[in-house]
Amino acid sequence: MGALHDGHLALITRAKEVAAGRGTTIVSIFVNPIQFAPDEDFQRYPRPFEQDWEKLVRIGCDLVFAPPADAMYRPNASVSIHETSLSRTMCGASRPGHFDGVCTVVTKLFHLVQPDFAVFGQKDFQQLAIIRRLVRDLDFPVRIISLPTVREADGLAMSSRNAYLSPEERAQAPSLHQVLEAAAARVREKTVLSPDQLIKWMRTALETAAPLAKIDYIAVADPATLEPRQDLDGPLVLALAVYLGRTRLIDNTLLE
């Protein structure tokens, strides 16, 4: 959605590596109105297109697709894509309709661009899982490539929304990653016995480390289904979302 940072540029670098010598690297920049709820930050979402353009030129992107909203959505548009399983939990539960907007715009982008592959980051683990399901269920001839979350030096996941944070909020924001990593260590060391115990510990740790944070959710989920886990054996994704002021931040860690 623009406001490009080093996390986005890492995705583009990976796309250029895969396409080297045999294809074109295309970047879409589109602040998608239908994935925002009425009370969310669509109007104030950063749109520094000129700065984004300069970064894309420097990194060697071949083509930018940046359509206006009225070119993507007709006034009487009445068809959308609805995912019914992976979007029921986590951000899907907190933001009803959000992933319908994501699935619809990604479907349109894939139809319009017809890519051979597409690169997405793991910071939004749920979105990545849903896009993989979208490609599978709608038989898109697109290979999805994922990249690990790119972080600031203090561990905060890079996000365009980080620019919203006040200095006090920014100082507490790295606690999200720190709590996730500490929770993962407790799983590996078997010092917690159940997902409920782990979530309780994470909540207390986050409230202590980041008193400005308002917790949206903390999840211990199956990486394949995104359903809550009933035990701590096998692969897990630990995910959370918090508000620091008006800014909603997400992060996760995967235990394989």
- Provide the annotated active-site residues: 8
> Where are the strands (E) in 78-225, listed by range?
117-121, 143-147, 213-221
> Where are the strands (E) in 71-159, listed by range?
117-121, 143-147
Burial tier of 195 (Cβ tally within 10 Å: 0-12, 13-18, 19+): buried
Question: Of 240, 88, 221, 95, which Cα lies nearest the Cα of 157?
Answer: 240
Residue type, 236: L
The answer to whether 243 and 216 are in contact (CB under 8 A) is yes
